[in-house]
Each structure stands twice: as C-alpha cells, then as structure tokens.
Structure 1
Amino acid sequence: MKDVEDNIAEQQHQLRLCVAGAGAIGITLATKLAAQYPNVSILARGRTLADIREKGIALTDRDGHRALEVPVASAEGLGIQDVVFLCPKAQDLPQLAKDIQPLLHEGTLIVPVVNGIPWWYFEGAGASHRPHDIHAVDPGRELKALLPSACVIGCVTMFTAARISRSEAVAMNGVKLVLGEIDNQDKPRSHELGALLNACGIETRVSERIRDPLWTKVIANLMSNPLSVVAETHLRDLCGLEPLSRVVKQLLNEALLVAASYGARLELDPESLMKFAAGMGEVKTSMLQDYESGHPLELGAICDAVIELGDIRGLDMPLTRTITAIARYKSDAAMRAAA
C-alpha cells in the first residue's frame, strides 16, 4: 500500500480528475477531492454551471463546512481527463454519457457513481452470468457503445447526501465508496484510485466481487425508496413502524430471491439492513427528495431493472411491481400538476 500511496503522490500533479454531474453526490465528491487534490474539475451546464462559477462549491459534513472554488465548464471547456466520476441520476446517464465524450482518451477511467442496477452488470462477468441487455437502464445499448467496459471501474455509494442549493450539499453520515473491477479481476488501477480517494477523506475500499456490495445497496434502495414516495415518510418510520415495516420486509424478501439467483453474497443480512435503515432517523430517501422537488424518479434503475432481472430467472415480484407502479403514478401526476 505504501508503494501505491507513493505512486499517487508522484502522479497527483498529472492526473486530471473530473466530476461529471453536480447533484448532491457530485458536489460532495468534488468538494472532498478538491480540498486535498490539485487537479479537480466539474462538468456542469445551465444554471448549475453559472452558480458554481459565481459561488464555488460547498459541503457540510462530519468534518465541518468548507467552500472552494473549482474549475467548472462544459466538456469542451475542460478537455481530456484521466478519471471521470459520473454522478447523475440514473435516468440522466445516457445524456451525460454523450456529453463526456470530449473528456475521454483511450486510458480514461470511467467511474459511474449511480444508483441502481448498472448497464455494465453482465459485462466482463465471466461464465457465471449469461450476457443480457438490461432494457430498463440501457434500452438502445447506447451506454455500452459510449462507455467502453475496459475503462469502467464499478462503484457503489455507501452514504446519503442532500443538495441544498445548486452549488452546496450536506452529507452527515460519512462519505464511503466501494470500488471494484467489473470483471472481478484484481488490478492496480482500482487500488491506486482507492488510495487517492482515501487520501482525500473519502473512505474507500476495493472489492474483488463488486456485485456483492452493489446488490446490498440496490436492495437497500429497493426496499425503501419507492415506498418512501408512496407513504411520503422517512427511513425511521419506514423500517421501524408497523405496518410500513412489514411492507418493507416483503419488498426485501422479493429482492433477496433475485439477488440469490445471481449468486450475490449480501454484505448485510436482512435484519441488519432493516436496523441500519431505521437507525438513520428522519432521513428522506433520495427518491422522496426528488419527488418533493418535482424531479423524475430513478425507478428504472432501482426498481424496473431488478424486476427485469427477476423475469430473466423466472421470479415474479408482485409487491415490488405494485409499489413501483404507485410511486410512478404519484410522480407523473405531480409533474403534470406542476406543468
């Protein structure tokens, strides 16, 4: 590890890091990176780009409050990058994948920091997984075409954050990531990137089976996010109060069967998942935050993709389908009313 840290130190004035997408997760990562690392930029557009240019970015987390000025521009204005962190909502990823093309060179590392089942799930997975297209997240195979698998490092977020303005975020429960090669091979680049992130105060570990923490996060989202929109309440009530907790357990059980059918080894058992979520307190899920803000919901990657994977294995998910349908109806109705 010392050799890796020395290597990172030697490269830190050369590697160019770009955070593409300035939502809550993007601002959190960009602020923590830029506080310790010299070559960090943000890809943004529209009013968000203008706000960050004028005000910089700011983060409040366990380490306090910090505000920084960070270069921000469109892809054409930023130029070639060595590592690109993709931080959009899942439904916005296809457009962002197009936007980042001017940032990429042959060796650019692409790190998708996105909720839900990723388009790369069956890429490089070996004989244990027959290849499939996941239509819920990549219906036209655009992502496969635009984001070369050889450049992708899998990433799972293990923290929550909220954006309180276009340029400022709050993340009070510890900023943690899991990285892993999507072909389950142990490669120096993942460890080097992990060392860089750790040096910037982003607690990062490298997994040899990235789909295990991925399923843990997907199930945690699936059992809470759509139901939080239907019930319009926070995690403590969802997972701690009857009858909502009973619904959460049923959603959890449906998702566990699908995960097991793909050989996943969850990093938290079901009871621990429930206790962890309830212990988060009055925290609103990202999907509930989006619903209340009138933004589209990440139902495709978090819900529809898991239902699709269940269909491939012949596993029905009746309650998940129902809760997803109600959440989608509420979201669509709210957006129509706002329009």
Structure 2
Amino acid sequence: MSKLRIAFSGIGAVGGYYGGMLATRYKDKEIADFFFISRGENLRAIKEHGLHIKTGIRTLVAVPTLATDNPAEIGPVDYIFCCTKSYDLKENIEQLKPLLGPETVIIPLLNGVNITEQIQELLPGQSVWKGCTYIGARLIKPGYIDKFSGKEKIFFGSKDGDKAKQEALLQLLTYSRINAYNPDDIDLRLWKKFLMISTAATITTFFNQNIRDVIEQHYDMFIALGNELKSVAEAKGIHLPADIVYASIEAQKMMPAGATTSMHADFLAGKPTELETLTGYVVHTADKLGIDVPTYRFMYNGIIKMPYPWV
C-alpha cells in the first residue's frame, strides 16, 4: 500500500499545529508523507530547524517530508488542508493547483461558513469537504508555535464525500492525539463556530475594544448581533440551539484579560482583514433572504468608514 500524501497550506497557528502533530507522530513510519507550504522567514526557519510546537510543558519539533513555497515540487496529494486567511483564498487555491489530482480532497480550515462553496466555484468537480477548528494557538516567531489552550477540536466531513476516505483521515488524526471529529451535522458545527467568531469579531472591531470590555459595556448589542445571525442561519435551514447566543457570549468570558479577536487585531495592525467573510457575509446574505439585520448593518457600515488603522 502506497503512503498517503498530505499537504498543509499556510503554516501558521492552525496549519502548523495540525501539520506538525501529524508529521511528528508519523515520523519514520511508512504511513504518510507530510508537506508544508509556507514562505518567507517562517519557511526558512522550518527548513533549518524544523517547526517547534510548544504544548504545555513540552515542545515538539516537527520535520515535514518537504517544506516549500512551490507546490510544483510536491505534485498531487491525497488531502490538502487549506489553513490560510479567507481574504487570500482565491490566490491560495490558484497556487495549490499542482497538488490536485482526480482523487485529491481539499479540507478548508478557514473562518467562514461558505468557504467550501467558494472553493468549489474556483475548482468545479474537485472534491472539497467542510471543516472548522477550535484552537488557542499562535505563531510567536518564525518556526515557533505556542498552543496555549488545553484542548483543540477539529471537525471535518462531507455528506456526499467518500465515507471510507473520511474514516481513514479520522483515524490518522486521532492516532496523532488530535481531538478530531467527523460528524454527520458538519453544517451545524460550522454555523455554531461562525456565530461565535462573527459576532465577536464584529463588535470588538466596531468599538475598538477587547472581548471583556465589549461584554461589560455593550452586552445588549452583543446579544442583538447573535439573534440576527441566528435568524439568518434559520432562514438557511440551520437550526441552532435555542440558547446559543447567550452560551457563545459566556464562552467568550473565558478569554484571557485583554484578549481580542483576530479581525480586530488585524485592523489595529493595518493588515488585510476578514471583514467581508465575518461581517459582510451576514449583511449580504440577509439582503438576499429578505431578513432585517440592523445591528450587523450598522456596525458593518461603521467599520468600513473607520480610519484604517485607528489613530
């Protein structure tokens, strides 16, 4: 039996952690080869010293089969984990074409609930599953990842995808001590996460405040965003739990003092942001469905007009 070939595109906190865990677990085993697609200083650090992953009191050093910024050096693979930012999606998919074969499966771990559909539009006929992850990790410097949360979760799957392939990937992930799940309700899992990250990203960015401050000072508006997004999900046939809005905000209270969302942090740093993926998507989808989302619309329009970054 030939080795599986698995590529990770985007070796930041998410791609680096999952790719690193797999590469470490299966080192010197005739099961799978792992390929890291990165660039710049991060790529140089991985090539020279491996990818360091700090988890609690231990640090792993992952050495992939190949780390490169040129996917043509890899060739077709069995699975591609796409772990870049959503605003880079189109460029990233174009770059990944040398990895594609008739049996290749793409698994996006990007923020957003319509990422799979976007990829399918770019690559008609290609197998694209759905995926999302919960993880507290960051790339603290080139070649070094700090996983500061106690646990992570990764969900992936496809209602129409090859079940044997899904089961094989699940076993591969869980054997690497990754908390992986292949649920039948993958769409519900995506929307649960989206409600949490979309509302938080929108309100922290609009008020230019961290999570704890917006909860303390703008709780009612936080609730309003959640209820509006829940109504959009229900109009699309996604039946979220009745208490999800309050539960999502309670979960946000567990964030460390001063913590904010990645979209807010990107705005502060003057970087490209996921505004259209996390906020604009809700407004535009609501328009198509004939649903009123006044709080989302107010904040979306306000963020667009703000100085970039704030001064």
Aligned to 2:283: 307
C-alpha distance in structure 2 between counterparts of 1:31 and 1:260, whole Å: 37
State the Cα distance separating 1:165 from its structure 2 match.
1.7
The alpha carbon displacement at 1:182 in A equals 5.0
- Counterpart residue number, 1:5: none
Structure 2 CA distance for aligned equivalents of residues 180 and 21 of structure 1: 20
Please say if residues 120 and 126 of structure 2, whose CA atoms lie closer than 8 Å, have aligned partners that are also in contact: no
Find the counterpart in structure 2 of residue 25 from structure 1: 14
| Other structure's SS at 1:334 match | coil
RMSD: 2.3
**How does the TM-score come out when normalised to structure 1?**
0.81
Cα deviations by residue, 1:73-123 (Å, 9 ceiling, x for unpaired) = 1101222211110011001010010000001111011101110122435xx
Contact 1:19/1:87, CA 8 A, preserved across alignment: yes
8 Å contact kept, 2:159–2:184: no
- Mapped to 1, the partners of 2:301 and 2:22 lie a distance apart of 38
What secondary structure does 1:279 align onto? coil
Q: TM-score, normalised by structure 2?
A: 0.88
Aligned residues: 301
The equivalences for 1:85-234 within 5 A come to 85-121=81-117, 138=118, 143-148=119-124, 150-173=126-149, 174-183=151-160, 187-234=163-210
Offset at 1:258? 0.3
**Counterpart position of 2:50:** 56
Say which of 49, 53, 61 aligns to 1:67: 61
51-60 or 169-178, larger mean C-alpha shift: 51-60
Tell me the alpha carbon deviations over residues 42-84 of structure 1, each in whole angstroms, 9 at most, x when there is no partner: 0123343223223321222346322223221110122221111
Structure number with greater CO (CA < 8 Å, separation at least 6) is 1
> Measured at CA, do residues 324 and 61 of structure 1 come closer, stay the same or move farther in structure 2, by a change above 3 Å?
farther
Q: Which residue of 2 aligns with 1:132?
A: none
User: What is the CA–CA distance in structure 1 between the aligned matches of 2:105 and 2:163, rounded to whole Å?
Assistant: 13
Q: 1:272 to 1:62 in 2, by over 3 A?
A: farther
State the Cα distance separating 1:225 from its structure 2 match: 0.8
Q: Please give the secondary structure, in 1, of the residue aligned with 2:93.
A: helix
User: Is 1:259 aligned to 2:220, yes or no?
Assistant: no
- Checking the alignment, whether the CA contact within 8 Å between 1:120 and 1:149 is kept in structure 2 is no
1: CA distance, partners of 2:208 / 2:50 = 33
Structure 1 residue 284 displacement after superposition: 2.5
Query: Could you tell me how far 1:186 is from its partner in structure 2?
Result: 7.6
**Which residue in 1 is equivalent to 2:308?**
333
Q: Secondary structure at the match of 1:162?
A: strand
Match for 2:254: what amino acid?
G
The whole-number CA distance in structure 2 between the counterparts of 1:301 and 1:311 is 15
Distance in structure 2 (CA, Å) of the matches to 1:163 and 1:176: 18
Equivalent residue of 2:114, what SS?
Answer: coil
Of 53-62 and 14-23, deviating more is 53-62
Partners of 1:112 and 1:55 in 2: CA distance: 27
Specify whether residues 19 and 120 from structure 1 end up closer, same or farther in structure 2 by C-alpha distance, changes over 3 A only: closer
- Asked whether the 8 Å contact 1:85–1:111 carries over to 2, the reply is yes
Assess if the C-alpha contact under 8 Å between 1:110 and 1:147 holds in 2: no
Q: Structure 2: give runs of 5+ residues left out of the alignment.
A: 28-32
Superposition pairs of residues 267-278 of structure 1, within 5 angstroms: 269-278=244-253
Q: Which runs of 4+ in 1 moved over 6 A?
A: none
Does 275-284 or 104-113 show the bigger shift?
275-284
The whole-number CA distance in structure 2 between the counterparts of 1:149 and 1:273 is 36
Deviation at 1:150, TM superposition (A): 4.9
Alpha-carbon distance change, 163 to 327 in structure 1, aligned in 2, over 3 angstroms? farther
Q: What one-letter code is carried by the residue in structure 1 that aligns with 2:232?
A: V
Q: Which amino acid aligns with 1:309?
A: T
